[in-house]
């Protein structure tokens, strides 16, 4: 359509591209549904007077041919009338026997109504089945949710009991905590009862605990040189001696 309506001109930019296309003829879309006029006078002009008032007389036929054609025409018309009567009687007989068009339309309507009723029954059964399934799924989900909630509540209660025991134990142990009021007393107690947790292990798995530190340094403190004071080189004196029980407090 667009190609048929376009006008080709030498100045147009698409003229060169369209000229390269090998087409037999550019025909306007307005002439697609029209018959090609005869050459000569344009069809828009009225006919000439000699053609307008010219009466064409058919040639005369022989009387024998006219009689034969008339007989054939009457025979054909009688045959058509007879066939119409036969077909009409057949249609009336079928309608009387319930095999006519109206009876068939009535049967089709009844069949359609029956199919609609069956469809409605199936839809109702499917709706009831779907409702039962949804109810079962709801009960199942409800039981699962309640079970999860019960588990969470029991876990929270158990956690609360454990935390209560820990808090009570912490309150009991808080009597030995170092506070601002008993700081001096705790310092004196720590100086009087020193605890050493350092120990060494030799190749045989023996533990060598360090001796208790001196409260006051007596004399000049010695300087450690290389491994002279390594506990693993000293003769074991306190092997596997665990720290005193007061150290854990």
Q: Structural domain boundaries of the chain?
A: 191-215+225-249
pLDDT of residue 10: 41
Q: Given a cut of 70, is residue 149 above it in pLDDT?
A: yes
Is 51's pLDDT higher than 90? no
pTM (2 d.p.): 0.33
For residues 100-129, give the mean pLDDT: 92
Segment 215-219 shows an average pLDDT of: 66
Average pLDDT over residues 139-155: 95
Q: What are phi and psi of 151, to 5 degrees?
A: -65, -45
The more confidently predicted of residues 183 and 214 is 183
Region of 205 (left: φ > 0; alpha: ψ -120 to 50; beta: rest) is left
Angstrom distances, CA of residue 132 to CA of 41, 129, 135, 142, 145: 86, 5, 5, 15, 20
| pLDDT tops 90 at residue 245 | no
pLDDT at 113 over 70: yes
Q: b/e map of 50-85 (b: 16 or more CB within 10 Å)? A: eeeeeeeeeeeeeeeeeeeeeeeeeeeeeeeeeeee
């Amino acid at each position: 359509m667009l190609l048929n309506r376009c006008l080709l001109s030498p100045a147009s930019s698409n003229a060169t591209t369209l000229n390269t296309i090998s087409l037999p003829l550019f025909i306007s879309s307005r002439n697609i549904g029209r018959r090609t006029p005869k050459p000569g006078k344009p069809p828009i002009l009225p006919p000439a007077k000699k053609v307008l008032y010219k009466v064409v007389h058919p040639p005369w036929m022989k009387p024998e041919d006219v009689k034969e054609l008339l007989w054939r025409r009457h025979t054909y018309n009688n045959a058509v009338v007879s066939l119409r009567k036969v077909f009409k009687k057949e249609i009336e007989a079928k309608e009387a026997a319930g095999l006519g068009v109206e009876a068939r339309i009535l049967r089709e309507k009844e069949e359609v109504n029956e199919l609609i009723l069956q469809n409605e029954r199936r839809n109702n059964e499917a709706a009831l089945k779907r409702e039962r399934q949804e109810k079962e799924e709801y009960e199942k989900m409800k039981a699962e949710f309640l079970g999860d909630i019960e588990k969470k509540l029991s876990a929270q209660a158990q956690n609360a009991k454990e935390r209560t025991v820990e808090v009570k134990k912490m309150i009991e142990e808080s009597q030995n905590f170092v506070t601002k009021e008993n700081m001096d007393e705790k310092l004196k107690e720590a100086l009087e009862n020193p605890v050493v947790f350092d120990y060494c292990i030799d190749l045989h798995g023996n533990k060598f605990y360090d001796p208790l530190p001196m409260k006051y340094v007596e004399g000049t403190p010695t300087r450690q040189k290389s491994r002279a004071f390594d506990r693993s080189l000293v003769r074991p004196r306190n092997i596997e001696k665990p720290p005193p029980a007061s150290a854990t407090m």
